[in-house]
Chains A and B, each alone.
Chain A
């Protein structure tokens, strides 16, 4: 259980998060939605304990987050973020293997190697496990990082999995696959929190959706409760039509095309 109460985060006088409270239960998949700068990535980093909040309280599995020892926390919480460049010639397998580092001191156990093989198979990167990471395409690298993050918590279903825009660089096949993996993990008991940009992916996969705007939580509920035209406009300033998909009983969002203001167009011409 992840419990967040009245979280505030200020940086140099700017309030990035204001009084955010939420809960994620075991086996729940929560999607964070919001426009750029809404505070989603900031919230993810606070949930990962990468930063300390200015005020407020976070607890994971009934223990306050800041009371965790770094190694123990690393075994029950993993965060996937945007790529950092790797400038040394590490192989794909070596990168994925780093996900197991919190699990052994000097010598890896056989299960560490098995887990690495399993996650690489799942993410479709076994074929290039011996290639140098730097030589892969952006999407392939993203899958490698996902595999590493999964390897970190593969043997602990009480873990918290945080995925910040995990499918932005992936092709259609892997976009669906990653979301399916996240969903399957949540069914196994993991707490999964994802930041996504596509409203329909959120509608189809999330158990709950949380919408942020300007650092505040505006809406929190099931896709049916939260995704409607009014809320979408409030948060994204985009016109949308929301219907219900009769097959899945989940909302289906159709975005209206945006037109530029008449005056602006003539100025351009």
Chain B
């Protein structure tokens, strides 16, 4: 039995508690198939087995708490680790820190859709000490949209949800790559401007 099937059994047995635990640990960094699970949960909601809005609320809260955990880990221990690894001596690392701090709101918001890369953005946000209020607001807003997408697709697909799990993974990968391109292009453009000046 693969991990998704195991998770789905627990969703059917313990509903929102399972959704909360899986989404929370996936948000921290564990490679759990939370999007595929939410796709199935959307289908369960269309069959009247679970509440769509209840599942969405649970997923948003758990996702935000997971992201905040990442943020606080590097906020408290990150600087010590970068000193040990001597990262602060690298010019690129310092530039990246500066770019992230100046572009915090948009970076935090759009990286919510970067799938398994979003914990990396959370760790970085804590490390460069993005103001917690900015992080929380943008994280929360982004977290509403992402699980809603997966749940809504599952709800629309209904009994055929399993046919769409591959499609959802592809869409998630496309969005993640597009976001990395967007973030890097912004950094690249700003660096170019600075060099020109």
A binds B: no
Binding site for B on A (CB under 8 A): none
